[in-house]
Structure 1
Amino acid sequence: MTVKKFKLFLASDVEREEQWLTEMSRKGLHLIKYRLGVYYFEEDPNHSYVYQIDFRDADDEYFQLYKDTGWEHVESFIQKFHYFRTPTNKESLKKIYSDSESVKETFQRMVKFYLVMFFAMIVSQIGLILTWKGYVFQIVVVCFTAFVLIIYLYQFFALKRKIDYYKKI
């Protein structure tokens, strides 16, 4: 049976998302698909997995590296976020790209990706500014855009803190 759960995580909370997915798996719910905050799980109380999420452009060699070290590819979202799992009872459980330099580089890739999206969003609002008449719809769009900008700024601040942390290690 497929179970759907809605939960939002920011990219800077990737470790919390991994922990949550691992906890869901301990409860017998195993990730099979992810779409914009909706997680699709398959019920099976006989298994338990540990999850890992990686952010990067991927090719066959990348997926083969994970497979060779015992990680099963579950899902990819926007061809950047890749979800992997491995059985909990595995003896030599080791995350790939877990050294501080690799983790720092992952967060730096996230910053670059989200900067491009951030500037695209800003540019897309130029028409609104140029045609401003004070309509209710325009005010709603400006409020929504301001909310998204605040989330982006928080995201950049959180990612910067993580990058700084991993630089020190």
Structure 2
Amino acid sequence: MKKFKMFFDIEKEEQWLNELLQKGYCCTNISGLGIYTFKKTDKRYVIRLDYQDYLSKKKFEDYKGIYEDFGWNYINSSWLGGIRYWQKEDDNQNEIFSDRQSTSNYYRRLMGYSSGLGILFLLFSYMLYKDSGLYLAEGLWSMEGALFWKAFLFETPFALLRSLPALMVVFYCSSFYKAYRKYSMLKEN
């Protein structure tokens, strides 16, 4: 079975994947384009997601070996994404972070990921909007009557597409804030 889904929140993605696993599906592949591949199984699985900054081939093999030593299987995913997918049979020892420090480090990495992408989309939004607004049709605002409404309705889907980078800034700022809250709660206790 293949499913297409896009996520901007790593924890919601993990929750969705675990819901499918509880229904008797095993995840076999995840593409960078949001296509998830599953197969039916009788075993119960659990999946955990981890975000890692760029790892060299040697560091990635070491990182992978540590998880595999504890029974986790790596699911192939986009190499550039930074999100690593780990799955294993449900045995009631289903956490990938063994202590507060490693959980804290995870949220700190997530904050860096979210802020980096947020800044990237903010710069992209600035480049898109610095010389013009969302609507690019010349003379749109000087048109009147039915001609204005036809032009306005025609341009609106394009304006919504142009607003996508700004929406991404909002998503990544929200993701940063959520990770920051969890990070700071771990640091306080």
TM-score range, shorter chain: 0.7 to 0.9
Match of 2:176 in 1: 156
- Cα distance in 1, alignment partners of residues 81 and 6 from structure 2: 18
Quick one: distance in 1 between partners of 2:130 and 2:81? 34
Percent of aligned pairs sharing the same letter: 25
Q: Structure 1 27/148 Cα, relative in aligned 2: closer, same or farther at 3 Å?
A: same
- 2:47 corresponds to which residue? 51
Q: Which has the larger radius of gyration?
A: 2
User: Are residue 6 (structure 1) and residue 4 (structure 2) matched?
Assistant: yes
**Counterparts of residues 64-79 of structure 1 (less than 5 Å):** 64-77=65-78, 78-79=80-81
Say if 2:55 is the partner of 1:25.
Answer: no
Alignment check: 8 A CA contact 1:75 1:84 kept: no
Q: Is 1:38 matched up with 2:35?
A: yes
Number of equivalences = 162
Q: CA RMSD in A?
A: 2.5
The alignment's TM-score, normalised by the length of structure 1, stands at 0.79
Aligned partners of 1:144, 1:96: CA distance in 2, in Å? 34
Q: Deviations over 1:22-68 (max 9, x none)?
A: 33223221111223433211122x22211111111441111000111
Which AA in structure 1 matches 2:113? F
Structure 1 residues 79-98: aligned runs within 5 Å = 79-88=81-90, 90=91, 93-98=93-98
Q: CA deviation at 1:94?
A: 4.6
Residue 51 of structure 1 aligns to a residue whose secondary structure is strand
- 1:125 maps onto 2:125 in alignment: yes
Q: 1:7 to 1:71 in 2, by over 3 A?
A: same
TM-superposed deviation, 1:146:
2.7
- Partner residue of 1:110? 110
Q: Which runs of 5+ in 1 are unaligned?
A: none
